[in-house]
Homo-oligomer: A and B are copies of this chain.
């Protein structure tokens, strides 16, 4: 129920208005002079204010002037009530920021119409503007031409950002594959994540102010959009849905890493290698039909085999390269995969998936 504050010194008029408003299902708060009106406006926080102009103590102009300065009441629609019909008075009130102006004797219909309209207007204003949201943002990234962000082609082994960099962009992968690696003092490397078409890269780095603690390197020739940090921040603050989307992405990143943490801690290398094979396969070579994104027309699934250096596999598994090679040889001997150079083909995905150890 909406609350309306009526500020009017003449009791009769005030109660008459109150009665009508109450009949129309509004909650009404009455003030008999300007000073009291301001106090009530502040304490009650009405949804709309009806205010007489000519009053003792503090007149209507004064009330509006005061309330317009208070951020808590500045947005409340304010309607003047008065007998004055001279144009210059009307101007006076409107130029102070009143939203409407009812002249006495007040017609009931006019009163209710004016009140209802102003309440509706406020409601309308408070609804978030229908801005281009998440969907448009994502679509824009796929525009072949007219994409609002600069798009670059990267070739194998190029670095998007390295540890220690202060990143200036968020990267959106239109096509290609990117690995995120983290290196320690003894030059040990793990691949912390893989990104493919449709993924964003570099978000955690952009959000913390400290320099990157990981680097991103292109695995296969890629086409990547750069979204400047400033632009990203604007998007995030102005579009709640885009913020929510990125938050979900981060949340899922956290989960994926937890998963890997658990596996790394307790599963033998053999199992981890198989998981890595399936991970890469699912990520890059076998998207479910409804998720296939082929912005440039190529069907990623058509790739007959996976190509990743043994070193990369090792970094993904978290084991030495020799060990990974041995496991791969075993799997080949068991007829589950085919190896030819750096190309690996999964021959029996079912068996790999069911593999217990």
Q: Is A182 a contact partner of B259 (Cβ separation < 8 A)?
A: yes
Residue A252 interfacial (CB < 8 Å): yes
Residue A207 interfacial (CB < 8 Å): yes
Residue A333 interfacial (CB < 8 Å): no
Produce 1/0 per residue, A232-251, CB < 8 A to B.
00001110100110111011
Copies held by the complex: 2
A317 → chain B closest CB, angstroms:
9
A211 → chain B closest CB, angstroms:
11
Q: Is B124 a contact partner of A95 (Cβ separation < 8 A)?
A: no
A262 to B184, CA, bound (A): 7
Chain B hits for A190, CB < 8 A: 258, 261-262, 265-266
Given contacts A254-B254, A255-B213, A182 and B261 within 8 Å (CB-CB): yes
Q: Is B266 a contact partner of A264 (Cβ separation < 8 A)?
A: no
Q: Is A261 a contact partner of B251 (Cβ separation < 8 A)?
A: no
Main secondary structure of the interface of A (DSSP, over half): helix
From B74, B103, B207, B213, give the contact of A247 (CB < 8 A). Answer: B207
Q: Is A208 a contact partner of B252 (Cβ separation < 8 A)?
A: yes
**Residue on B nearest A244 in the bound complex, by CB:** B236
Q: Is A248 a contact partner of B208 (Cβ separation < 8 A)?
A: yes
Q: Is A258 a contact partner of B257 (Cβ separation < 8 A)?
A: yes
Residue A9 interfacial (CB < 8 Å): no
A261 to B266, CA, bound (A): 13
Residue A297 interfacial (CB < 8 Å): no
Q: Is A263 a contact partner of B125 (Cβ separation < 8 A)?
A: no
Q: Is B94 a contact partner of A251 (Cβ separation < 8 A)?
A: no
From B125, B180, B243, B251, give the contact of A236 (CB < 8 A). Answer: B243
**Residue on B nearest A208 in the bound complex, by CB:** B251
A129 to B127, CA, bound (A): 12
Residue A157 interfacial (CB < 8 Å): no
A312 → chain B closest CB, angstroms:
14
Chain B hits for A267, CB < 8 A: 184
Residue A12 interfacial (CB < 8 Å): no
Given contacts A95-B117, A114-B95, A260-B261, A248 and B207 within 8 Å (CB-CB): yes
**Residue on B nearest A263 in the bound complex, by CB:** B184
